[in-house]
Structure 1
Amino acid sequence: MTASPSAPPGWTVWSLRAFATAHLAGVLGQAALAGLFVTGDVDLLAWHRNNAGFTHSLLYLQLVAAILLWRPGRGPLWPALASLGLVVAETMQVVLGQFRVLALHFPLGMAVFGLSAVFTAWTWYAYRRSAA
């Protein structure tokens, strides 16, 4: 996954990196808040809910950045599709959490975290020579 001869403009790469990294930090915060909540600090459920909304908003910004990487940036389409897939998964995650379907909410949260981490790592690995 190295840069192609016609690499996307640096601003599109850096925008995607910034939003993907911020989203990943929010997802990590969700895991930490959930872990603290289930140990008995019930006040953190409100923090978990609020952080979910903020993190989900960051994911939509990541999607916009991925679309801009593709068009007009001439980059690959798959980051936009992967971001859209994360939007769908994270939307399901929010709904499952609201309805307290924890048997699905917990494993889907782990999947969202893993996929977000891989995606974010890719943003820092790809185009590292051209956008640096």
Structure 2
Amino acid sequence: MFTERQQKLIRLLEKNMTFQKISDLSKKLGCSQRTIYNEIESLREKNISIISKRGVGIKLNKEVDEKFSLDSTSIMSTRRLEIIKSLFIENKTVTLKKLSENYLVSQTSIKSDIEAIEEILDDGCGAFLKKEIQVQNWIIFPWKEK
């Protein structure tokens, strides 16, 4: 199983198959360069092939990457569970933009997640997500009764 940061790191490396600097990745992930190096080691231990070039950066090994890909269904399910947790357990109000930035996916992907969550909630339990559109962005409120 991959940690959230490891999943984000792999997604960043998959998005851009060229070499990326550790300093840039650490800024994007909001952690230290040392943490990125530790995550790389951990990923290598999990058989993720990452190529490193001194002074250039790191990238996924494309040949191995074709055989290995994070199970997108697993990532999507994890993301949806985390969204449900933030809405209903932590009782947070969120926006599509914030979720999109947090999970490094498009707002359309987040909309699909929200729609899937709504389908889960639409089982007769009387709960739904309240959405407001403000400046072309959804604000999602948790646990409102119909």
Q: TM-score, normalised by structure 1?
A: 0.32
Higher-helix-fraction structure? 1
Greater RCO, 1 or 2 (C-alpha within 8 Å, sep 6+): 1
Higher-strand-fraction structure? 2
